Structure 1
């Protein structure tokens, strides 16, 4: 039993997320580690763009409507944390997919 996840709820959620991502990777034809690493690179790029746009919106709203800066700041911070968490979880799932699925296939092919 883990103290930070005593009932295994987060582990179950991460397992379901990984399985969903794995099925999507299979259906999209991602069958090489290089292709999977490219997905990671693209997700990092998208996350940076989203965070940059959120900061730009924060600055713009703060300049145009200073009274709403506090509300906008809290919403932008929430959005940034959400995007960063989603991107990190996605990268973790893809690395696991590379380790468990793609590297095993390469090992089997090199054994034959």
Structure 2
């Protein structure tokens, strides 16, 4: 039993999200390691560019609207957290896809 997830709900949710990603990647035809690695790089850059956009816009809005500064900073922090978590989870799912699905596929085609 995991103290942070005593009923296994988060583990089940992550498994469902991973399975959904696997189906989506297979549906679009991502079946080799090179394309999956390129997707990893693309996900990483999208996350970085998203943060590079959100942080300055949040700071500029906080300076431009001093009466809403707390609200703007709170929303910006929430967006940064959400984008970071989503980006990290997506990258972890793709890495897992590479290890589990594409490793089996590479082994079966190498014979």
Fold shared per TM-score above 0.5 = yes
Report the 3-state secondary structure (helix = DSSP H, G, I; strand = E; otherwise coil) of the residue aligned with 1:31.
coil
8 A Cα contact 1:58 1:69, kept in partner? no
After TM superposition, the score normalised by the length of structure 2 is 0.94
Q: Any stretches of 5+ residues in structure 2 without a counterpart?
A: none
- Alpha-carbon displacement from aligned partner over 1:43-90 (angstroms, at most 9, x marks no partner): 111111111111121122122112211111110000000001001111
Q: Does 1:61 align with 2:25?
A: no
After TM superposition, the score normalised by the length of structure 1 is 0.93
Q: Does 1:79 align with 2:74?
A: no
Partners of 2:62 and 2:4 lie apart in 1 by: 38
**Residue 27 of structure 1: how far off its partner (Å):** 0.6
Decide which moves more: 52-61 or 1-10.
Answer: 52-61
Stretches (4+) displaced over 6 A: none
Partner of 2:100: 100
Partner of 1:19: 19
Partner of 1:5: 5
Report the 3-state secondary structure (helix = DSSP H, G, I; strand = E; otherwise coil) of the residue aligned with 1:3.
coil
Partners of 1:58 and 1:101 lie apart in 2 by: 40
- Alpha-carbon displacement from aligned partner over 1:3-61 (angstroms, at most 9, x marks no partner): 11111000000000000000000011111111011111111111111111111211221
Partner of 1:90: 90
Partners of 1:52 and 1:69 lie apart in 2 by: 19
